[in-house]
């Protein structure tokens, strides 16, 4: 078997409207499907503007009483990364959009190969918003991928 690419991500959310707003209006995903039936729960599907595939993100509403993600070390999803551009100028625009929407930035890291901002969605799922650093050729030198993490100053 050979995995060709990561196809899509599915997240359970407490409130579909709140999460739909976040992923659509804050992060800029394009909604490609919403449904209240005949599926077992309300859902919304999104794709990036490039529409690389039929959907890259699916949200499934599970209700306000659903359990929170446990804090600290645990098994399961740590975060997922979304490429938002190819320059620090684009990452600064992302930062400004997050600030305008009152989305707290939980971290900012220089990974040598990427520059990243870390946020959480309305249900506490951590998201890394990153750019590939121009001129860093990690394909020719894979050791760059394991470079020490430094604080990012935009």
Domain boundaries, the chain: 9-61, 79-151
Q: 9-61 and 79-151 share one CATH topology?
A: yes
Q: Regarding predicted confidence, which is higher, 15 or 34?
A: 15
Residues 25-84 have pLDDT tens digits of 999 999 998 666 556 788 999 998 777 778 899 999 999 999 988 888 888 889 999 999
Q: Is the pLDDT of residue 147 over 90?
A: yes
Question: Global pTM?
Answer: 0.91
Return the CATH number of the domain spanning residue range 9-61. Answer: 3.10.180.10
Percent of the chain with pLDDT over 70: 95
Return the CATH number of the domain spanning residue range 79-151. Answer: 3.10.180.10
88 Cβ contact list (under 8 Å, min separation 6)? 115, 131, 154
Residues 98-143 have pLDDT tens digits of 999 999 999 999 999 999 999 999 999 999 999 999 999 999 999 9
Cβ atoms of 113 and 133 closer than 8 Å: yes
Nearest to 154 by CA among 84, 50, 101: 84
CA-to-CA distance for 54 and 65, rounded, in angstroms? 31
């Amino acid at each position: 078997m050979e995995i060709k690419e990561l196809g899509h991500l599915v997240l359970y959310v407490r409130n579909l409207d709140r999460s739909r707003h976040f992923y659509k209006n804050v992060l800029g995903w394009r909604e490609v499907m919403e449904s209240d039936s005949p599926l077992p729960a309300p859902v919304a599907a999104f794709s990036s503007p490039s529409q690389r595939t039929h959907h890259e993100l699916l949200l499934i509403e599970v209700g306000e009483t659903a359990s929170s993600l446990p804090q600290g070390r645990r098994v399961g999803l740590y975060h997922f990364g979304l490429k938002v551009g190819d320059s620090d100028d684009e990452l600064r625009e992302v930062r400004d959009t997050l600030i305008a929407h009152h989305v707290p930035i939980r971290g900012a890291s220089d990974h040598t190969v990427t520059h990243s901002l870390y946020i959480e969605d309305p249900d506490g799922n951590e998201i890394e918003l990153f750019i590939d650093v121009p001129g860093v050729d990690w394909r020719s030198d894979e050791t760059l991928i394991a470079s020490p993490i430094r604080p990012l100053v935009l």
